[in-house]
Structure 1
Amino acid sequence: MKRISIIIPTKNRPGFLMKSLHNIEKFQNSEELEMIVVDDGSTRQMAHKNMEVCKNINEGIKYLFIEGRGPASARNMAIRISEAPILFFTGDDIIIPQSTLEEHLRFHKDKYKENFFAMTGPIEWDNSIKAKGILDFLDSGNFQFKKDVDAKNDVFETDFNLFYSSNLSVKRSFLISENLFFDERFPFAAWEDIELGYRCQKKGMKILYNNNAPVYHFHEQTISNLVERMVKSGKSLRIFLEKWPELSESFGYSFKGNRFRRKKNFLKALMRNRYIASLARRRFLNSSGQEELNHISAFCLKNMLFYHFHKGFMEGCQRGEGNA
């Protein structure tokens, strides 16, 4: 029997998928791993390439195609067909060190073998990414992935806010017995994992963070894709808070009379406006992202991203969005 199922959604990125799968295939005892790739609606040409990538790397890789229903649906499909007792969620743009996978396996075998324990860990930037200035900025502001710190312990309890599906392992039996799956109303890869983490935590799951189990994100970052990501993240947070309005205050919104409002802060509202966002976007549009950002540049970029995040939140998701 396989020890762990590695679940990877993908869409139109055969080059990324190849790099990620090649890395896993090099592991010792890779025959003990069940690898499941779910293609979330790639074009016909890209789907063919994705399928060939899987076949050429290891004919045992399970490749499934679904009609662009979003990463939540892709992961749910993989959960249902998985056979191993432990599920490891990651992305097609993630490098997993063998030592990290071993940390996940050890975690579930030893001290935390009860099925209500889950493990997550750091998501770092791969050294191959050139846009160091942007990466330092994103890390300092927790824009991409938050991290957790405990001065005394390498492994410690955290909460649903770090339930990131780039570096996450859970017991399959817990999800199945509690009927816990990703909410497929989330069309993008944003907040759908954190929302599942919240429901899991409400059902008694304990989420632990292991500083010794990093993975590495190798997707190059640009200002344009950061803006797009912030809009999608805002739209997805809207879905999350409509479902769980009791959490609105902790994310900077109030919910009264069936309406969301941004918690009032005159200075932030003054800085996070269309004019500042437009100026900042022009400033960074042709930037390579490699140069170090000074305080003014970082301030403008931060407020531009928050402006687009709030814009996405107030717009919300339209029917069918995310399936293109």
Structure 2
Amino acid sequence: MGNVEDKSSPGVSIVIPTWEGKELLRRFLPSVLKAARVCGRPWEAIVYDDHSSDSTVDFLRKHFPQVRVLRTKVRRGFAGASNAGFRESRYEIVVLLNNDTDVDEHFLKPLLDHFENENVFAVVCKCYDWDGKMFRDGGKIGEFKRGFFRIHRNYDVEVRRIDSSEPYYSFHASGAFSAFSRKKLEALGGFDELFVPFNWEDADLSYRAWKRGWEIHYEPTSIVRHRPNTTVGRFRKAYVKAVSRRNRLLFIWKNLSDVDKLVQHCLFLLFQSMLAFLRLDLTHFASLGMAIAKLSGVSKARREEKMRIRRSDTEVLSLLRDCYQRPEVVIVE
């Protein structure tokens, strides 16, 4: 484990937030440590336990003494545990992984090389399912249609067709398998805990970075394996759906600044609400109510971020769209 206190040194801090994840860490943490040992840089691994009840802390201290193990005093959710890990990191590049992320032995070097460009905020890996066969995530496509952001489509680039003369952009950097500039994380304040317990916090962080003039890259040669919702899947589906809808609204209300897009959002939200009333879609109104309850926090964050904007929504989306239209890019539905 790295033990250098100089936070500007060219090393890497690997941060893994976890909740009730002892068995997942037993399975996947060894691949992370193996990759760290061969990355050619000073490194440290931090596991931040989010107040689990499954003896994760004791297990890690016994079986993985090279890992710094820390624990929240109360349950803080993914964003809170990740932010706590960011604050403890010693090095300028922070790699954030889920506790169920398995990594290729040499996944780190391609990620870390991007940070030679001082304008890079984050870099996201290519992700397959645990079996290594099914493509899960690549560069994230961000679109604004019918008053809402669509952010769940992916694109990929065949390795033999990669054009290294220009970076491949991603709308956001997944909190499950991405590298970040620690200085820029600090400038952004980390994940916004308005989005606790989960979903859209990584999109919010990334979009704020884009609007401040920074970049998020996709690195198709950095390979990981991950299965979505291993932790989130422990919650009731209705609750997950309501929280996801709420957080999509919070994301838009907090970050959208182009007037024409704000008007479009309001009109389509009204239309959606009318349809939800006719269909007796109670989840829509539950999520809307939960979002309205957080309006004061959204308004404060919106005012603070407005002063730091360097790109409009249209400029960000146009920059990303140009990347998606490159001939070697393949859209994966």
TM-score of the superposed pair, with normalisation by structure 1: 0.67
What letter corresponds to residue 7 of structure 1 in structure 2?
V
Structure 1 residues 33 and 56 mapped into 2: Cα distance closer, same or farther (>3 Å)? farther
Aligned counterparts of 2:259 and 2:173: Cα–Cα separation in 1: 18
% identical aligned pairs = 20
Q: What is the aligned partner in structure 1 of residue 177 from structure 2?
A: 167
Residues 1:78 and 2:89 are matched in the alignment: no
Aligned counterparts of 2:285 and 2:48: Cα–Cα separation in 1: 31
Q: What is the aligned partner in structure 2 of residue 254 from structure 1?
A: 265
Cα offsets for 1:68-90 (capped at 9, x unmatched):
12211111111111001110111
Q: State the shift of 1:247 in Å.
A: 7.5
Aligned counterparts of 2:259 and 2:197: Cα–Cα separation in 1: 20
Cα offsets for 1:146-168 (capped at 9, x unmatched):
42235653773324x33211121
Residues 1:19 and 2:17 are matched in the alignment: no
Cα offsets for 1:9-34 (capped at 9, x unmatched):
11112111222212222334479431
What letter corresponds to residue 106 of structure 2 in structure 1?
S
Q: What is the aligned partner in structure 2 of residue 40 from structure 1?
A: 50
Aligned counterparts of 2:119 and 2:29: Cα–Cα separation in 1: 27
Residues 1:4 and 2:18 are matched in the alignment: no
Aligned counterparts of 1:83 and 1:96: Cα–Cα separation in 2: 22
Q: State the shift of 1:102 in Å.
A: 2.4
TM-score of the superposed pair, with normalisation by structure 2: 0.65
Residues 1:314 and 2:288 are matched in the alignment: yes
Aligned counterparts of 1:56 and 1:144: Cα–Cα separation in 2: 40
Conserved 8 A contact 2:17-2:47: yes
What letter corresponds to residue 65 of structure 1 in structure 2?
R
Residues 1:57 and 2:66 are matched in the alignment: no
Cα offsets for 1:196-254 (capped at 9, x unmatched):
11111122211111111232114687798666543331122122123124489979972
Cα offsets for 1:286-308 (capped at 9, x unmatched):
xxxxxxxxxxxxxxxxxxxxx96
Structure 1 residues 220 and 78 mapped into 2: Cα distance closer, same or farther (>3 Å)? closer
Which of 93, 98, 111 is the equivalent residue of 1:104? 111
Q: State the shift of 1:265 in Å.
A: 12
Structure 1 residues 247 and 51 mapped into 2: Cα distance closer, same or farther (>3 Å)? farther
Q: Map of 1:180-191 to 2, 5 A cutoff?
A: 180-191=189-200
Conserved 8 A contact 1:254-1:263: no
Aligned counterparts of 1:82 and 1:4: Cα–Cα separation in 2: 9
Q: State the shift of 1:191 in Å.
A: 0.5
Name the SS of the counterpart of 2:59 in structure 1.
helix
What letter corresponds to residue 232 of structure 1 in structure 2?
V
Conserved 8 A contact 2:108-2:222: yes
The total of aligned residue pairs comes to 265
Conserved 8 A contact 1:85-1:173: yes
Q: State the shift of 1:193 in Å.
A: 0.8
Q: What is the aligned partner in structure 2 of residue 298 from structure 1?
A: none
Q: What is the aligned partner in structure 2 of residue 233 from structure 1?
A: 244
Conserved 8 A contact 2:130-2:227: yes
Conserved 8 A contact 1:115-1:171: no
Residues 1:202 and 2:204 are matched in the alignment: no
Name the SS of the counterpart of 1:149 in structure 2.
strand
Conserved 8 A contact 2:122-2:216: yes
Aligned counterparts of 1:255 and 1:172: Cα–Cα separation in 2: 35
Q: Map of 1:276-287 to 2, 5 A cutoff?
A: none
Which of 207, 215, 222 is the equivalent residue of 2:224? 215
Q: What is the aligned partner in structure 2 of residue 127 from structure 1?
A: 131
Aligned counterparts of 1:249 and 1:231: Cα–Cα separation in 2: 27
Structure 1 residues 223 and 37 mapped into 2: Cα distance closer, same or farther (>3 Å)? closer
Name the SS of the counterpart of 1:12 in structure 2.
coil
Unaligned stretches of 5+ residues in structure 2? 5-9, 137-149, 295-333
Aligned counterparts of 2:286 and 2:260: Cα–Cα separation in 1: 18
Unaligned stretches of 5+ residues in structure 1? 136-142, 276-306
